[in-house]
Amino acid sequence: MQISGNQANRAAECRQSMQIILSFSALFLSVILLQLSTGGVAPLDALAGVQNGFTTTQIGLLGSSHFVGFFIGCFWAPRLIGSIGHSRSFAAFASSGTLGILFHTIIVDPYAWSIMRIMSGLCVAGCFTVIEAWLQAKFSNRNRGRAMGTYRMADLGAGFCAQLVIGVLDPSSYISYNILAILCCASLLPLLLTRIPQPATGMSPRLNPKLAYGISPVACAAVVTAGLTTSSFRMMGPIYGIEVGLNTNLIALFLGSFILGGAVAQYPAGWIADRFDRRRVMVALSGMAILSCIATVALSGSGPAGIFLGAVIFGMTTFPIFSVGAAHASDFADPEQMVDLSSSLLFLYAVGAIVSPFLSSALIVLAGPESMFVFIAVVHLVLCMFALIRMRLPRSRKQRTPYVYTPRTSFLIGRLIRRRRRDGK
């Protein structure tokens, strides 16, 4: 009877897990469609900009503009949700992204496209804020881990596929932008048609970078480094690929290799970060990131296979730094500080992400495509030195919190992580 009872419990848990996944399937499908659309805009803009005669600096400006819109969206979204509700807010932000993509085909001008990229950044931040608010309200102690795992898989998987889509889209054709606009518009349907009730509106976070720095200076340096690194590569990576002789199809694989490396590294990086001093882990990751920059440049003349390998290693060493930094800050934060901390770290990430593409593009113009990786290596060297200096200062943490992959989507991920950590899951 005991064995039969255990089997029945396991069967009930399996059914419950399936029901959880199905109940959130509409939201996850919206995430996938949104990522396929907005995740493909950056590389398509870079390739189309080259074909339309944009300068490298102007292409970098497009990437910086995206994160300007992203930053605005993160802190406007909760206020809009409080005014008109979740579904209407999602529709408004998705419409903004769709319009921004469609206008690319009407006005071909780098500065006009910069305004359009602000609209796409606004769309990404606003839509993910709505989705994460919805998930936050519907998670429970029993299903939070499984739901967050599925959410992360949808986020990373769609982001990877978005880079591969670029391989089959022609940057010179307006149809390519129309396809991305259709995907963005289609992301409206699953969320608007879901039968899950809209959650109640929560309080907006406070932007307090001083709080974040007071909690963990090293974590602040880590998230700024993550912003400087990932946004530079994702926007200027296509330019680098063109310079080293990759065609459009191979550039898609090059960018996809970067995201694949980051996804593969999340579990081992989290396992290590949960067992050793997180500052040492950040130093190790940054040290390996410096070596990966050197390897990427060194392998640039060895053909596509070597270039892809360099991108995978680069993604493995740079992608986890944001999550390790966020986990380190959480070790010293009170539960009621978690959301404000998350919003402040996101602000610091956005600052780095806004500056990086424009700065990288200027360096490429002055010193060639390899200078982007020189810049990234120098940034990580500064992080290493700062973390080593901070490690000499004794400090005891309040409570070690488990590592959680933290997507840079909206500040509301802080609430999801806070609840999961509070429940010990």
CB crowding 59-89: b at 16 or more within 10 Å, else e: bbbbbbbbbbbbbbbbbbbbebbeeeebbeb
pLDDT tier, 185 (very low <50, low <70, confident <90, very high otherwise)? very high
More confident residue, 134 or 352: 352
pLDDT, tens only, 383-396: 999 989 888 876 55
**Residue 425 burial (10 A CB sphere; 0-12, 13-18, 19+):** middle
d(CA 339, CA 344): 9
Taking phi over 0 as left and psi of -120 to 50 as alpha, with beta for the rest, 96 belongs to: alpha
- Please choose, from the candidates 311, 205, 334, the residue with its C-alpha nearest in 3D space to the C-alpha of residue 265: 311
Whole-number CA gyration radius for the chain: 21
Tell me the per-residue pLDDT of 348-370, one tens digit each, with 9 for 90 and over.
888 888 888 888 888 888 888 88
Cα separation of 131 and 296, whole Å? 36
What's the pLDDT tens digit per position in 45-60? 988 988 888 988 898 8
Secondary structure (3-state) at 318: helix
Q: Highest mean pLDDT range out of 65-69, 144-148, 165-169?
A: 65-69
User: 245 — alpha (psi -120 to 50), left (phi > 0) or beta?
Assistant: left
- Determine contact, residues 221/386, Cβ cutoff 8 Å: yes
Q: What's the predicted TM-score (pTM) here?
A: 0.77
Of 118 and 265, the one with more pLDDT: 118
Task: Tell me the DSSP string of 38-85.
Answer: HHHHHHHHHHHHHHTT--HHHHHHHHHHHHHHHHHHHHHHHHHHHHH-
Q: Is 141 helix (H, G, I), strand (E, B) or coil?
A: coil
Residue 425 pLDDT class (50, 70, 90 cuts)? very low
pLDDT at 18 over 60: no
Query: Residue 9: which pLDDT band, with cuts at 50, 70 and 90?
Result: low
* pLDDT (mean) for 18-27: 65
Q: What is the pLDDT of residues 294-353, one digit of tens each?
A: 888 887 777 788 888 888 888 888 888 888 887 788 777 776 666 677 777 878 888 888
